Amino acid sequence: MRSTTRRGHLAVDLAAITPGHLLTMTTSPTPSTRSSTNGWQVQRVEVDVPAHRYQVVIGAGALERLGALLHECCPGTRRAFVVADRAVAEGVGRQVMATLAEAGAAPIVAEVEASEASKTVAGAERLWQSMLDARLDRTAIVVALGGGVVGDLAGFVAATFMRGVDCVQVPTTLLAMVDASIGGKSAVNLPCAGGLAKNAVGVFRQPRRVICDPLVLATLPDRVLSAGLAECLKHAMISDPELATWMEAQQERIFARDAETLTALIARSAKVKAGIVARDEHEAGERTLLNLGHTFAHALEGALHESISHGEAVGLGLLAATEASRASAHWPGADPDRVERRLRALHLPTRAPTGCSLSVMLDLMGMDKKHRAGRWRLVLPVGEGACRVVDDPPREAVVAGWRRIGVT
């Protein structure tokens, strides 16, 4: 399989990328529109999956309007089962419950711990049982309120309860807004000899809508915000190179949590993912490109566990993949220095923590899901805003990638 993104696929009106202004997308297969509802500025990105079309709705104050936004995509009086990250249930969660109650959704909340250890069959069973005990039926709507773990677990429970009920994703981290909540991947982990087999049981089932309120990012710690920015940079490197330049220029506004800047960032990054998912829902080809940097990242996460976040590992993976691409001549003009500069601007690490040995990393890379028949399979950047799946890259190029991020 060879999948490559094409430059210019997502045409963007660069004149619109000025400080404090929302972006205007010009031509695109997945139009994003800026609209005003009673003076409320909102961006809508279409996820054009055949037979399961939905929107990513982004706007400051979206949570206050959650009841109405839910009604738009799931009409009728239907009960909401809110699966909420325990850490957000108190503050944002109360606001969400109030707006859903006002909209007549008679919400029920189930709190979950946002750790991979909660994403289990037992965790799913607890939620199925709560839904059954509350006498919910197939008209129920599951609302996933939290980061990636909550979205995955709630999406899985929604996809399986009574053979599937509607799910609305309400992500509360940048990473979940631009990546995890879009595309319908949902799963739980299974225990295995080495710890957890991540996402071992799951389904593809698209949500009815994704609703992002950049105001919830106001209290997100910088380190967690940066982790989401790594996924935005990944999207830029896959098919929207101007996005990377823009992010670098906007770093102060991004870290100041300027709502308009964050709305623009989320919309533009979500648009890259939406386009890919619409063309390849089940990861038969192009969707694999979303794993840019991930083979390196998964090895780092496998060795370092909780001491490195997924986003930080992805950032390092983007740098390593760029170096590997240059070293293997897949992209002789690749500029790892520029990727490194961008990672620094986004407050992301550029060197792996000490204690990662090259031999352990190479072994862990062999356990990657994309590893086939004893050969490595990597996604490598091959141009500005273009990347490709590369089977069996030369070992020395992979080693050069690791060395670039300080693994020797």
Active-site positions read: 163, 185, 231, 273, 283, 287, 291, 294, 298, 310
User: Judged by CB, which is closer to ligand GLY: 186, or 261?
Assistant: 186
Residue closest to 172 by CA, chosen among 74, 63, 67: 63
| Residue 93 C-beta: closest distance to ligand GLY, Å | 25
Query: Using CA atoms, how far apart are residues 50 and 290, in angstroms rounded to an integer?
Result: 20
**254 binding ligand GLY? (CB under 6 A):** no
| Residue 76 C-beta: closest distance to ligand GLY, Å | 30
**Is 51 exposed, middle or buried, given 0-12, 13-18 or 19+ CB atoms closer than 10 A?**
exposed
Answer yes or no: are the C-beta atoms of 54 and 73 closer than 8 Å. Answer: yes
CA atoms within 13 A on the CB side of 90: 2
Dig out the tokens for 187 from the structure: 């799963």
User: Judged by CB, which is closer to ligand GLY: 152, or 213?
Assistant: 152
**287 binding ligand GLY? (CB under 6 A):** yes
Of 93-101, 178-186, 204-212, 342-350, the segment contacting ligand GLY by CB under 6 A is 178-186
Over the window 65 to 94, marking each residue x when it contacts ligand GLY by CB under 6 A and - when it does not, the resulting string is: ------------------------------
The site that binds ligand GLY (CB under 6 A) totals a number of residues, namely: 6
**179 binding ligand GLY? (CB under 6 A):** yes
**185 binding ligand GLY? (CB under 6 A):** yes
User: Judged by CB, which is closer to ligand GLY: 186, or 263?
Assistant: 186
Dig out the tokens for 318 from the structure: 């983007």
**290 binding ligand GLY? (CB under 6 A):** yes
For residue 367, count other CB atoms closer than 10 A to its CB.
Answer: 11
**Within its chain, how far is the Cα of 201 from the centroid?**
19
**271 binding ligand GLY? (CB under 6 A):** no
3 state DSSP class of 391: strand
User: Judged by CB, which is closer to ligand GLY: 173, or 328?
Assistant: 173
User: Judged by CB, which is closer to ligand GLY: 24, or 199?
Assistant: 199
**183 binding ligand GLY? (CB under 6 A):** yes
Pairing of strands 80-85, 141-146: parallel
Query: Using CA atoms, how far apart are residues 317 and 299, in angstroms rounded to an integer?
Result: 9
| Residue 28 C-beta: closest distance to ligand GLY, Å | 19
Sign of CA dihedral 98, 103, 107, 113: negative
Name the helix (H) or strand (E) containing 328: none
**315 binding ligand GLY? (CB under 6 A):** no
For residue 200, count other CB atoms closer than 10 A to its CB.
Answer: 13
| Residue 297 C-beta: closest distance to ligand GLY, Å | 11
| Residue 171 C-beta: closest distance to ligand GLY, Å | 13
Query: Using CA atoms, how far apart are residues 284 and 356, in angstroms rounded to an integer?
Result: 33
| Residue 407 C-beta: closest distance to ligand GLY, Å | 24
- Residues forming the site for ligand GLY (CB under 6 A): 179, 183, 185, 283, 287, 290
